[in-house]
Amino acid sequence: GLTALQKFLLQLAAAVAFTVLLRNYGYLTPSLYIPFFNVELAIPWVVYMIFAAFVMVATVNAVNLTDGIDGLATGVTIPVALFYVAVSAWFNRSDLTVVSAALAGGLSAFLIYNFHPAKVFMGDTGSLFLGGAVCGLAFALDIPLVLILVGLVYLVETLSDIIQVVYFKLTHGKRIFKMAPIHHHFEMCGWSEEKIFTVFVGITCLMCVAAWFGVQGRYAP
């Protein structure tokens, strides 16, 4: 029963509170690590906190958009969680290793019932949580830009929706995609839900492997 503005404000408040907690407990540094280049871009704390809140809200909603067909958000997030398991272990962060492993394990069990044809659905409560977990772990590990890689599917889903809406309004009714977000476009092109699931999860697996090599220089083991 909440309006879009109310949802946004609540998500923003949660993101700000989480970011403040991360900073107070020493998880954050006011710098952005650039994957593959092994360099850090120092920025003011205020700018960083605004950036963090924006990215968190955007990621939460991006994962929510991805949850449009049976098992998709679940399947795409499993390799992302496994990526965090590997990275947190590499960084000697046993606390985050446990959290990431629990996330991966829970999603794997849930996928048994969520895969097409789904017997159980996660709904907004589940998908919004997944978005928070995916983004929260990236910031807790102090590698937020890695979301561009591991979250490529989430990003494309969101961009396809934005592009569709903007183009529709500018052209007074014309569409670029048959339907948005983009997984629905592929559905209308004749792809089965199983094929969309396999392709999107496969892409995420490849991007997670690339991200793994991208953060190898972040800390010495």
Q: Which helix (H) or strand (E) holds 31?
A: strand 31-34
Q: What is the pLDDT of residues 129-147, one digit of tens each?
A: 999 999 999 999 999 999 9
Task: Give the model's pLDDT for residue 206.
Answer: 98
Residue type, 21: L
pTM value? Answer: 0.93
pLDDT tens for each residue of 78-107: 999 999 999 999 999 999 999 999 999 999
Using CB atoms within 10 A of its CB, is residue 112 exposed (0-12), middle (13-18) or buried (19+)? Answer: exposed
Give the residue among 63, 64, 147, 76 at the shortest CA–CA distance from 111: 76
Q: Which residues are bridge partners to 31 per DSSP?
A: 42
Closest CA to 186 of 173, 169, 198, 174: 198
Place of tokens 């159980």: 120
- Averaged over successive runs of 10 residues, the pLDDT of the chain (221 residues) comes to 86 93 88 91 92 95 94 97 96 95 97 94 90 95 96 97 95 93 95 97 98 84 45
What lies within 8 Å, CB to CB, of 70 at 6+ separation is: 114, 115, 116, 117, 118, 193, 197
